[in-house]
């Protein structure tokens, strides 16, 4: 154990300098050196006796630094919670957006084909009435009436109303 301490301790300042140069953050560099020393102590039995302890430690530190940089790149930058802006921490819920999106898709699917195609061409694809008329091969007036009926049915479906209320027979 004392052999290990006498070999590791003189390397710590150089490891810290290298870690700071790699990460450019003092706290992260100190954490990296700590991780490096933990790994070196835990795997001391795997060290080659004839090899350089300094080179072995720098290899461990370098590999840990690369892993840390890849992790930051994958996860994105982190901020301490006390340093975070309230707008980052508090975001409005988004569950309703997904439900509303699914409702709109279901309402679109429930439309007749002619109304759905006009609605999609005008509202989604942003075609003019004349362009939509040319695509579908119908007059502009037909486009406008299909669009109006399609929008109204879509509105009714989104409100939960029936588009075609069932008629009752009166005697």
From first to last of its 171 residues, what are the pLDDT tens digits of the chain?
A: 678 888 999 999 999 999 999 988 899 999 999 999 999 999 998 888 888 899 999 999 999 999 988 988 888 777 788 887 877 677 777 888 888 889 889 999 999 999 999 999 999 899 999 999 999 999 999 999 999 999 999 999 888 876 555 555 565
pLDDT at 170: 61
pTM above 0.85, yes or no: no
Helix-then-strand count for the chain, H and E = 9, 0
User: What pLDDT sits at residue 118?
Assistant: 94
Half-sphere exposure for 112 (CA within 13 Å, toward CB): 11
What CA–CA distance (Å, rounded) separates 25 from 46?
30
- CA–chain centroid gap for 82, Å, is 23
Taking the C-alpha atoms of residue 169 and residue 162, their distance in angstroms, rounded to an integer, is 18
Dihedral sign computed on CA atoms, order 105, 107, 112, 118 = negative
Contact between 58 and 15 under an 8 Å Cβ cutoff? The reply is yes
């Amino acid at each position: 154990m004392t052999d290990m301490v006498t070999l590791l301790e003189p390397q710590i300042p150089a490891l810290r300098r290298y870690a700071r140069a790699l990460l450019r953050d003092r706290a992260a560099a100190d954490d990296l050196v700590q991780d490096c020393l933990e790994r070196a102590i835990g795997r001391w039995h795997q060290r080659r006796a004839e090899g350089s302890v300094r080179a072995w430690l720098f290899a461990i530190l370098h590999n840990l630094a690369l892993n840390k940089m890849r992790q930051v790149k994958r996860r994105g930058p982190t901020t301490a919670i006390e340093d975070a802006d309230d707008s980052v921490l508090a975001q409005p819920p988004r569950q309703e957006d997904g439900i509303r999106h699914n409702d709109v898709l279901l309402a679109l699917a429930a439309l007749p084909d002619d109304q759905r195609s006009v609605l999609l061409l005008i509202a989604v694809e942003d075609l003019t009435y004349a362009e939509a008329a040319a695509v579908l091969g119908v007059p502009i007036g037909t486009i406008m009436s299909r669009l109006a009926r399609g929008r109204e049915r879509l509105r009714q479906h989104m409100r939960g109303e029936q588009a075609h209320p069932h008629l009752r027979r009166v005697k």
